[in-house]
Structure 1
Amino acid sequence: MKAVLLTLAFLLELALLAAAGWWGFHLDAGLPVRLLAGIGAPLLIAVVWGVFCSPRAAVQLPAPAKYAVQAACFGAGGLLLAFAGRPLAGTVLVVLWAVNNALLRLLGNPA
Protein backbone atom coordinates (compact mmCIF):
# COMPACT_ATOMS: atom_id res chain seq x y z
CA MET A 1 0.00 0.00 0.00
CA LYS A 2 2.81 2.40 0.89
CA ALA A 3 4.49 1.86 -2.48
CA VAL A 4 1.24 2.66 -4.28
CA LEU A 5 0.81 5.87 -2.27
CA LEU A 6 4.41 6.92 -2.89
CA THR A 7 3.94 6.30 -6.61
CA LEU A 8 0.75 8.35 -6.55
CA ALA A 9 2.60 11.13 -4.72
CA PHE A 10 5.22 11.23 -7.47
CA LEU A 11 2.54 11.26 -10.19
CA LEU A 12 0.74 14.08 -8.40
CA GLU A 13 3.98 16.06 -8.29
CA LEU A 14 4.31 15.62 -12.06
CA ALA A 15 0.67 16.67 -12.46
CA LEU A 16 1.43 19.77 -10.41
CA LEU A 17 4.18 20.75 -12.84
CA ALA A 18 1.91 20.01 -15.81
CA ALA A 19 -0.82 22.17 -14.26
CA ALA A 20 1.54 25.12 -13.93
CA GLY A 21 2.66 24.68 -17.54
CA TRP A 22 -0.94 24.34 -18.73
CA TRP A 23 -1.81 27.65 -17.08
CA GLY A 24 1.17 29.43 -18.59
CA PHE A 25 0.71 28.17 -22.12
CA HIS A 26 -3.02 28.99 -22.05
CA LEU A 27 -2.71 32.59 -20.92
CA ASP A 28 -4.49 35.17 -23.01
CA ALA A 29 -1.25 36.90 -23.93
CA GLY A 30 1.35 37.02 -26.63
CA LEU A 31 3.59 34.08 -27.41
CA PRO A 32 6.63 35.38 -25.49
CA VAL A 33 4.57 35.79 -22.31
CA ARG A 34 2.97 32.35 -22.72
CA LEU A 35 6.37 30.75 -23.24
CA LEU A 36 7.84 32.52 -20.22
CA ALA A 37 4.89 31.57 -18.00
CA GLY A 38 4.52 28.06 -19.42
CA ILE A 39 8.16 27.25 -18.75
CA GLY A 40 8.80 29.57 -15.82
CA ALA A 41 5.90 28.56 -13.56
CA PRO A 42 6.72 24.83 -13.53
CA LEU A 43 10.40 25.65 -13.18
CA LEU A 44 9.74 27.88 -10.16
CA ILE A 45 7.60 25.19 -8.51
CA ALA A 46 10.24 22.54 -9.27
CA VAL A 47 12.97 24.66 -7.71
CA VAL A 48 10.92 25.35 -4.57
CA TRP A 49 10.04 21.66 -4.32
CA GLY A 50 13.65 20.59 -4.84
CA VAL A 51 15.03 23.01 -2.28
CA PHE A 52 12.47 22.36 0.46
CA CYS A 53 10.43 19.20 -0.19
CA SER A 54 12.45 16.57 -2.03
CA PRO A 55 14.05 13.66 -0.18
CA ARG A 56 17.46 15.24 -0.86
CA ALA A 57 16.32 18.81 -0.17
CA ALA A 58 19.03 21.41 0.27
CA VAL A 59 17.10 22.93 3.18
CA GLN A 60 15.88 20.37 5.71
CA LEU A 61 12.65 21.71 7.19
CA PRO A 62 10.77 20.32 10.18
CA ALA A 63 7.80 18.19 9.09
CA PRO A 64 5.09 20.84 9.67
CA ALA A 65 7.00 23.43 7.62
CA LYS A 66 7.66 20.91 4.86
CA TYR A 67 3.95 20.04 4.70
CA ALA A 68 3.15 23.76 4.58
CA VAL A 69 5.44 24.28 1.59
CA GLN A 70 3.93 21.24 -0.13
CA ALA A 71 0.42 22.54 0.56
CA ALA A 72 1.38 25.96 -0.81
CA CYS A 73 2.75 24.37 -4.00
CA PHE A 74 -0.32 22.23 -4.55
CA GLY A 75 -2.65 25.08 -3.62
CA ALA A 76 -0.91 27.26 -6.19
CA GLY A 77 -1.22 24.48 -8.77
CA GLY A 78 -4.92 24.14 -8.06
CA LEU A 79 -5.41 27.89 -8.38
CA LEU A 80 -3.45 28.00 -11.62
CA LEU A 81 -5.69 25.31 -13.08
CA ALA A 82 -8.75 27.24 -11.94
CA PHE A 83 -7.36 30.40 -13.56
CA ALA A 84 -6.82 28.40 -16.75
CA GLY A 85 -10.53 27.51 -16.81
CA ARG A 86 -10.21 24.07 -15.17
CA PRO A 87 -11.49 24.60 -11.61
CA LEU A 88 -12.64 21.00 -11.22
CA ALA A 89 -9.24 19.67 -12.25
CA GLY A 90 -7.58 22.08 -9.82
CA THR A 91 -9.83 20.92 -7.00
CA VAL A 92 -9.20 17.25 -7.82
CA LEU A 93 -5.44 17.83 -7.84
CA VAL A 94 -5.46 19.45 -4.40
CA VAL A 95 -7.90 16.94 -2.87
CA LEU A 96 -5.97 13.95 -4.21
CA TRP A 97 -2.74 15.37 -2.83
CA ALA A 98 -4.31 16.03 0.59
CA VAL A 99 -5.84 12.55 0.85
CA ASN A 100 -2.68 10.84 -0.39
CA ASN A 101 -0.53 12.88 1.99
CA ALA A 102 -2.81 12.08 4.93
CA LEU A 103 -2.70 8.36 4.14
CA LEU A 104 1.08 8.43 3.86
CA ARG A 105 1.33 10.17 7.22
CA LEU A 106 -0.97 7.55 8.76
CA LEU A 107 1.34 4.85 7.45
CA GLY A 108 4.27 6.55 9.12
CA ASN A 109 5.97 7.92 6.03
CA PRO A 110 8.51 10.58 7.02
CA ALA A 111 7.96 14.09 5.73
Structure 2
Amino acid sequence: MTASGDGPNDLAGLRGRPWFAANEVLAFLLEVIAVGSLAWWGFTVPGSPAASVALGISAPLVAVVLWGLFAAPRARFTLPLAGVLAVKTVVLGGGAAAVYGAGHPTAAAVLAVVLVANTGCAEFFRRR
Protein backbone atom coordinates (compact mmCIF):
# COMPACT_ATOMS: atom_id res chain seq x y z
CA MET A 1 0.00 0.00 0.00
CA THR A 2 1.74 3.11 -1.15
CA ALA A 3 0.55 6.57 -1.84
CA SER A 4 3.23 7.46 -4.34
CA GLY A 5 3.53 6.59 -8.00
CA ASP A 6 5.77 4.33 -10.05
CA GLY A 7 9.07 4.32 -8.20
CA PRO A 8 12.19 6.48 -8.12
CA ASN A 9 11.34 8.40 -11.28
CA ASP A 10 8.08 9.53 -9.70
CA LEU A 11 10.03 11.30 -6.94
CA ALA A 12 10.92 13.98 -9.47
CA GLY A 13 7.23 14.89 -9.56
CA LEU A 14 7.35 15.68 -5.85
CA ARG A 15 10.11 18.30 -6.16
CA GLY A 16 8.78 21.79 -5.78
CA ARG A 17 5.52 20.41 -4.36
CA PRO A 18 6.19 20.09 -0.63
CA TRP A 19 2.50 20.02 0.37
CA PHE A 20 1.80 17.23 -2.07
CA ALA A 21 4.83 15.27 -0.89
CA ALA A 22 3.91 15.71 2.77
CA ASN A 23 0.34 14.63 2.08
CA GLU A 24 1.55 11.53 0.23
CA VAL A 25 3.74 10.56 3.20
CA LEU A 26 0.79 11.12 5.54
CA ALA A 27 -1.42 9.02 3.25
CA PHE A 28 1.01 6.12 3.46
CA LEU A 29 1.20 6.39 7.26
CA LEU A 30 -2.59 6.45 7.50
CA GLU A 31 -2.80 3.34 5.32
CA VAL A 32 -0.42 1.53 7.65
CA ILE A 33 -2.38 2.74 10.68
CA ALA A 34 -5.65 1.49 9.13
CA VAL A 35 -4.22 -1.98 8.50
CA GLY A 36 -2.69 -2.09 11.97
CA SER A 37 -5.98 -0.97 13.50
CA LEU A 38 -7.81 -3.79 11.76
CA ALA A 39 -5.31 -6.29 13.17
CA TRP A 40 -5.56 -4.74 16.65
CA TRP A 41 -9.34 -4.89 16.56
CA GLY A 42 -9.34 -8.47 15.32
CA PHE A 43 -7.01 -9.70 18.03
CA THR A 44 -9.03 -7.94 20.76
CA VAL A 45 -12.53 -9.07 19.75
CA PRO A 46 -14.12 -10.92 22.66
CA GLY A 47 -14.72 -14.59 22.11
CA SER A 48 -12.62 -17.61 21.54
CA PRO A 49 -8.88 -17.16 21.09
CA ALA A 50 -9.09 -18.94 17.73
CA ALA A 51 -11.68 -16.44 16.46
CA SER A 52 -9.57 -13.51 17.66
CA VAL A 53 -6.48 -14.85 15.90
CA ALA A 54 -8.48 -15.52 12.73
CA LEU A 55 -9.91 -11.98 12.73
CA GLY A 56 -6.57 -10.44 13.67
CA ILE A 57 -4.96 -12.02 10.64
CA SER A 58 -7.79 -12.03 8.11
CA ALA A 59 -9.13 -8.48 8.56
CA PRO A 60 -5.85 -6.73 7.66
CA LEU A 61 -5.11 -9.34 5.00
CA VAL A 62 -8.42 -8.66 3.25
CA ALA A 63 -7.75 -4.91 3.47
CA VAL A 64 -4.29 -5.25 1.91
CA VAL A 65 -5.60 -7.48 -0.89
CA LEU A 66 -8.45 -5.05 -1.67
CA TRP A 67 -6.03 -2.14 -1.68
CA GLY A 68 -3.55 -3.91 -3.92
CA LEU A 69 -6.19 -4.98 -6.40
CA PHE A 70 -8.14 -1.74 -6.66
CA ALA A 71 -6.69 1.30 -4.83
CA ALA A 72 -2.90 1.13 -5.05
CA PRO A 73 -1.12 3.35 -7.60
CA ARG A 74 -0.19 0.23 -9.57
CA ALA A 75 -3.39 -1.67 -8.80
CA ARG A 76 -4.08 -4.83 -10.74
CA PHE A 77 -7.49 -3.51 -11.82
CA THR A 78 -8.13 0.08 -12.83
CA LEU A 79 -11.33 1.53 -11.45
CA PRO A 80 -12.92 4.91 -12.07
CA LEU A 81 -12.37 7.47 -9.31
CA ALA A 82 -15.67 6.56 -7.62
CA GLY A 83 -14.59 2.92 -7.39
CA VAL A 84 -11.17 3.76 -5.98
CA LEU A 85 -12.78 6.04 -3.41
CA ALA A 86 -15.22 3.28 -2.47
CA VAL A 87 -12.36 0.85 -1.82
CA LYS A 88 -10.50 3.53 0.15
CA THR A 89 -13.65 4.15 2.19
CA VAL A 90 -13.96 0.45 3.00
CA VAL A 91 -10.30 -0.01 3.95
CA LEU A 92 -9.52 3.33 5.62
CA GLY A 93 -12.99 3.70 7.10
CA GLY A 94 -12.70 0.14 8.32
CA GLY A 95 -9.52 1.14 10.13
CA ALA A 96 -11.33 3.99 11.88
CA ALA A 97 -14.25 1.70 12.69
CA ALA A 98 -11.80 -0.82 14.11
CA VAL A 99 -10.37 1.81 16.46
CA TYR A 100 -13.93 2.59 17.55
CA GLY A 101 -14.67 -1.11 17.98
CA ALA A 102 -11.55 -1.49 20.11
CA GLY A 103 -13.06 0.99 22.55
CA HIS A 104 -11.53 4.32 21.53
CA PRO A 105 -14.31 6.48 20.07
CA THR A 106 -12.44 9.80 20.30
CA ALA A 107 -9.36 8.41 18.59
CA ALA A 108 -11.60 6.86 15.93
CA ALA A 109 -13.29 10.20 15.25
CA VAL A 110 -9.95 12.02 14.99
CA LEU A 111 -8.60 9.31 12.68
CA ALA A 112 -11.71 9.50 10.49
CA VAL A 113 -11.44 13.29 10.14
CA VAL A 114 -7.74 13.08 9.27
CA LEU A 115 -8.43 10.28 6.76
CA VAL A 116 -11.14 12.28 5.00
CA ALA A 117 -9.03 15.45 4.88
CA ASN A 118 -5.96 13.59 3.65
CA THR A 119 -7.82 11.64 0.97
CA GLY A 120 -9.59 14.78 -0.22
CA CYS A 121 -6.30 16.68 -0.49
CA ALA A 122 -4.57 13.74 -2.16
CA GLU A 123 -7.22 13.40 -4.85
CA PHE A 124 -7.34 17.17 -5.37
CA PHE A 125 -3.56 17.40 -5.80
CA ARG A 126 -3.42 14.33 -8.06
CA ARG A 127 -6.10 15.71 -10.38
CA ARG A 128 -4.40 19.11 -10.80
TM-score by length of structure 1 reads 0.90
RMSD over aligned CA atoms reads 1.2
Shift of 1:94: 1.7
Counterpart of 2:77 (choices 59, 77, 92) is 59
Stretches of structure 2 that go unaligned for 5 or more consecutive residues are 1-18
What is aligned with 2:86? 68
What is aligned with 2:12? none
CA distance in 2, matches of 1:88, 1:25: 20
- Cα deviation 1:56-77 (Å, max 9, x = unaligned): 1111001121112111222222
CA distance in 2, matches of 1:105, 1:48: 19
Equivalent AA in structure 2 for residue 8 of structure 1: L
Contact 1:78 1:87 in 2 (8 A): no
Matched, 1:32 2:50: yes
Contact 1:16 1:93 in 2 (8 A): no
Equivalenced residue count is: 109
Question: Which of the two has higher C-alpha Rg?
Answer: 2
CA distance in 2, matches of 1:5, 1:61: 22
Counterpart of 2:97 (choices 79, 83, 87) is 79
Alignment of 1:1-111 (within 5 A): 1-107=19-125, 109-110=126-127
TM-score by length of structure 2 reads 0.79
Stretches of structure 1 that go unaligned for 5 or more consecutive residues are none
